[in-house]
Amino acid sequence: MRTAVAITLTEEDRATLMTWARSRTAPVRLAARAKIVLLAAEERTNRQIAAELGVERTIVGRWRNRFAAQRLAGIEREQPGRGRRATKRKHWARTIVEVTLHTTPKDATHWSVRSLAKHLGVDKSLVQRVWRAHELAPHRVRTFKLSRDKRFIEKLIDVVGLYLRPPEHALVLSVDEKCQIQALDRTQPGLPLKKGRCGTMTHDYKRHGTTIRRGGFAALEMASGQLIGQCMPRHRHQEWLKFLPKIMRAHEALDKMQYQ
């Protein structure tokens, strides 16, 4: 009569196996293997483990021997060559990728899983697996813009250099244009951030219109959190140059407060 291989666990092995056996996110097959090894470490026979877990005795023996030979890695990873080969996906993968990349449906801007599956006459889960394997996501779009300025690299170095190595006692302004910004005002002051609670604000607010045609300028003093704003009749570089002294005065006032 053959004797089952004895299983001895270290504290680390036992903790890992317990985590796998109780996990709700780990694969079911991994949790089952972990339970087999844990019961085997209690000197249970293969027949007893098979009866308790409701599996074949040969399966219990396989994972007991695999753990004895390779420890945790033996039950965590599948052996190469095991499992049913994905013959259907291999046959359709190239077609699905080519249709996804080089064509569009007549009534939409991009293919969806269901529309492409219906178009090719395959199951939608097959399309999902192929897209996942090739990291395709037709519904996602990222915008970009390439500058045609011949001095772009030179200007880029100058701007980035101000942030990395600004001149001594220099004031660096980061400027961005945002149009159609609503001027909103909360009906009550928000509560500040504190331990155990995030910052809060009221759900309602007052509308003060937008600055679509007018020139709305705003600046944020990072050191103090002060917001500096001004609304002008137009939005041109002339108005921007008029707004700069207001920023400078606010910055100088902050410096005086710091030195006092």
Measured in whole angstroms, how far is the alpha carbon of residue 66 from the centre of its chain?
36
Q: What amino acid is encoded at 44 in this protein? A: R
Q: Looking at the domain assignment, is residue 155 inside a domain?
A: yes
Residue 4: name the closest of 73, 74, 60, 50 by CA: 60
Q: Which of 49, 76, 103 marks a domain boundary? A: 76
If asked whether residues 66 and 126 sit together in one domain, one would say no
Q: Looking at the domain assignment, is residue 6 inside a domain?
A: no
Instruction: Give the pLDDT confidence score for residue 80 in this predicted structure.
Output: 58
The C-alpha atoms of residue 225 and residue 228 are separated, in whole angstroms, by 10
Instruction: Give the pLDDT confidence score for residue 115 in this predicted structure.
Output: 92
If asked whether residues 67 and 105 sit together in one domain, one would say no
Q: Looking at the domain assignment, is residue 251 inside a domain?
A: yes
Helix axes 28-41, 46-53, angle to 10 degrees: 140
Rg of the chain, C-alpha, whole Å: 33
Instruction: Give the pLDDT confidence score for residue 202 in this predicted structure.
Output: 84
If asked whether residues 100 and 62 sit together in one domain, one would say no
Mean pLDDT of 225-236: 79
Domain of 114?
Answer: 84-166
Q: Are 32 and 55 in contact (CB under 8 A)?
A: yes
What total of structural domains would you count in the chain? Answer: 3
If asked whether residues 56 and 101 sit together in one domain, one would say no
If asked whether residues 212 and 253 sit together in one domain, one would say yes
Instruction: Give the pLDDT confidence score for residue 57 in this predicted structure.
Output: 83
Instruction: Give the pLDDT confidence score for residue 214 in this predicted structure.
Output: 61
Mean pLDDT of 14-36: 84
Highest mean pLDDT out of 20-34, 39-53, 119-133: 119-133
Higher-confidence position of 86 and 45 = 45
The C-alpha atoms of residue 23 and residue 27 are separated, in whole angstroms, by 9
If asked whether residues 62 and 89 sit together in one domain, one would say no
If asked whether residues 53 and 71 sit together in one domain, one would say yes
If asked whether residues 152 and 210 sit together in one domain, one would say no
If asked whether residues 52 and 21 sit together in one domain, one would say yes
User: At 154, is the pLDDT very low, low, confident or very high (cuts 50, 70, 90)?
Assistant: very high
Q: Looking at the domain assignment, is residue 246 inside a domain?
A: yes
162-205: per-residue pLDDT in tens? 878 878 877 767 767 666 667 677 788 877 777 777 778 888 87
DSSP, residue by residue, the chain: ---PPP----HHHHHHHHHHHH-SSS-HHHHHHHHHHHHHHTT--HHHHHHHHT--HHHHHHHHHHHHHHTHHHHHSPPTT-S---HHHHHHHHHHHHHHHH---TTSSS--HHHHHHHHTS-HHHHHHHHHHTT--TT----------TTHHHHHHHHHHHHHSPPTT----------S-EEEEESSPPBPPBTTB--B--S-EEEEEE-SSSEEEEEEETTTTEEEEEEES--SHHHHHHHHHHHHHHHHHHHHHHH-
Q: Looking at the domain assignment, is residue 104 inside a domain?
A: yes
If asked whether residues 133 and 109 sit together in one domain, one would say yes
Mean pLDDT of 125-135: 90
Higher-confidence position of 178 and 20 = 20
If asked whether residues 128 and 55 sit together in one domain, one would say no
If asked whether residues 160 and 123 sit together in one domain, one would say yes
Provide the percentage of residues in the chain whose pLDDT is more than 90.
8
Q: Looking at the domain assignment, is residue 153 inside a domain?
A: yes
Mean pLDDT of 140-144: 82
Q: Looking at the domain assignment, is residue 159 inside a domain?
A: yes
Six token digits for residue 13: 């092995």
Q: Looking at the domain assignment, is residue 171 inside a domain?
A: no
